[in-house]
């Protein structure tokens, strides 16, 4: 039988009633002739509670024991889902990561999946099991220890299973009914997309859209896994949600498909840095070593052998960035006059694969922001994306104005 992967997030399994509702969705797909692999998250709020327990017991915790504790939430959900399906007369079994086994690296709390052997679960399917309920977010290291994949890792688990089992599709059930042209809480005219390409979804996910974990989209694009994002709270409909697929599966590409925004940004400027070969490596090497996620970079025109270097990073990494750069300065690796952190900025981005073939997107974006009196601090572009840093207080205005300018409320 064909295999279908269904993933249910924390809000979709937050209590027994919601688990029963999710199980009914699974039962429908079983009746449609699928062998189903269900990936479950912990019940909503459960992982946060478990993390707080670890922090209370041991602020400087052993990462191996941290994983052992925080992975337990998914185990509870998997068992309850399997029991619920059994009560519906659907042959189901729960599987923890080590039982599959989901083979990962040894990087506790940030492990990466290396392989998912299919033999164990496929053997059970051949013996009459119709649903394998797998605890998401977790795996097992080469040393035999439980590992976790990082927050949101159940999305990655689901896509990895879809790739390993050559699933027809991977359905991600969440508390939203699809991918929108922008955050509906900011722009009331936001429209749900019927389809979006892997590349566009990857950009939106990395730029602030919270629908899918970035790693899961990367994995889906790499292995060609067709993803569908849909709500577990709406009535079942085969055409529901948003399909994330290859570019060639989309008939017509608008120049811009969505506007993303992230308010948790900071702009950092090194003032009067020596303008010499290797200075960029001297700056961004220490930042990388301190796990600072640098995004936008701009270097000003040099004057008398000195220049200013500006970059953006997540706001919660500012202290780490300051520590890295000041230590590099003390060691004599770099020399700068001042380090200025602006923590009152936001990043707004326009994304669309149609930019490759249609000109004028940047001009329209900059004109729109100018008309609204919004000053651009930093600009970054790629083949299918234009991002700007602006004052955070103008973020909602910018999103609304750009959504209107590119007429994203219209389907075509």
Residues 6+ apart with CB under 8 A from 27: 85, 88, 90
**In the structure encoding, which two tokens stand for residue 54, read together?**
């670890």
Whether residue 211 is annotated as binding a ligand: the answer is: yes
Whether residue 38 is annotated as binding a ligand: the answer is: no
**In the structure encoding, which two tokens stand for residue 377, read together?**
């601090």
CB 159 within 8 A of CB 169: no
Whether residue 7 is annotated as binding a ligand: the answer is: yes
Whether residue 104 is annotated as binding a ligand: the answer is: no
Classify residue 150 as left (phi > 0), alpha (psi -120 to 50) or beta: left
Whether residue 74 is annotated as binding a ligand: the answer is: yes
Whether residue 377 is annotated as binding a ligand: the answer is: no
| Continuous segment of H or E residues that includes residue 223 | helix 214-223
Whether residue 332 is annotated as binding a ligand: the answer is: no
Residues 6+ apart with CB under 8 A from 140: 97, 98, 101, 102, 103, 104, 146, 147
b/e map 18-55, b = 16+ CB within 10 Å:
bbbbbbebbbebbeeebbbbbbbbbbbebbeebbeebe
Whether residue 180 is annotated as binding a ligand: the answer is: yes
Residue 409's Cβ-side half-sphere holds a number of Cα atoms within 13 Å equal to 12
Classify strands 242-245 and 195-197 as parallel, antiparallel or unpaired: parallel
Whether residue 285 is annotated as binding a ligand: the answer is: no
Residue ranges of the annotated binding site are 7-10, 47, 74, 174-175, 180, 185, 210-211
Residue ranges of the annotated binding site for ATP are 7-10, 174-175, 180, 185, 210-211
Residue ranges of the annotated binding site for substrate are 47, 74
């Amino acid at each position: 039988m064909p295999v279908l992967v269904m993933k249910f997030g924390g809000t979709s399994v937050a209590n027994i009633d919601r688990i029963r509702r999710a199980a009914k969705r699974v039962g429908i797909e079983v009746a449609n002739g699928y062998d189903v692999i269900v990936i479950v998250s912990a019940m909503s709020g459960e992982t946060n509670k478990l993390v707080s327990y670890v922090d209370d017991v041991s602020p400087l915790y052993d990462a191996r024991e941290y994983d052992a504790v925080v992975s337990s939430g998914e185990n509870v959900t998997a068992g309850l889902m399997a029991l619920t399906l059994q009560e519906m007369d659907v042959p189901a079994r729960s599987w923890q990561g080590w039982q599959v086994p989901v083979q990962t690296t040894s990087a506790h709390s940030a492990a990466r999946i290396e392989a998912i052997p299919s033999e164990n679960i496929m053997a059970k399917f051949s013996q009459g099991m119709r649903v394998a309920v797998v605890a998401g977010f977790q795996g097992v290291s080469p040393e035999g220890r439980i590992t976790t994949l990082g927050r949101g890792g159940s999305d990655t688990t689901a896509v990895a299973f879809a790739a390993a089992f050559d699933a027809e599709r991977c359905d991600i059930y969440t508390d939203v009914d699809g991918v929108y042209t922008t955050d509906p809480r900011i722009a009331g005219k936001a429209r749900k997309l019927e389809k979006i390409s892997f590349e566009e979804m990857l950009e939106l996910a990395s730029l602030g859209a919270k629908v899918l974990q970035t790693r899961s989209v990367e994995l889906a694009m790499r292995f060609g896994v067709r993803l569908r994002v849909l709500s577990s709270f709406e009535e079942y409909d085969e055409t529901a949600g948003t399909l994330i697929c290859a570019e060639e599966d989309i008939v017509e590409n608008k120049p811009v498909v969505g506007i993303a925004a992230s308010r948790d940004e900071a702009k950092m400027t090194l003032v009067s840095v020596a303008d010499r070969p290797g200075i960029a490596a001297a700056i961004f090497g220490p930042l990388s070593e301190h796990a600072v996620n640098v995004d936008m970079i701009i270097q000003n025109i040099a004057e008398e052998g000195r220049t200013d270097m500006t970059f953006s990073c997540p706001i919660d990494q500012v202290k780490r960035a300051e520590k890295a750069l000041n230590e590099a300065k003390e060691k004599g690796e770099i020399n700068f006059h001042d380090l200025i952190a602006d923590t009152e900025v936001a990043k707004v981005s326009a994304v669309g694969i149609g930019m490759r073939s249609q000109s004028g997107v940047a001009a329209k974006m900059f004109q729109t922001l100018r008309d609204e009196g919004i000053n651009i601090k930093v600009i970054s572009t790629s083949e299918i994306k234009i991002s700007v840093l602006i004052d955070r207080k103008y973020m909602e205005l910018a999103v609304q104005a750009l959504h209107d300018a590119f007429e994203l409320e219209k389907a075509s």
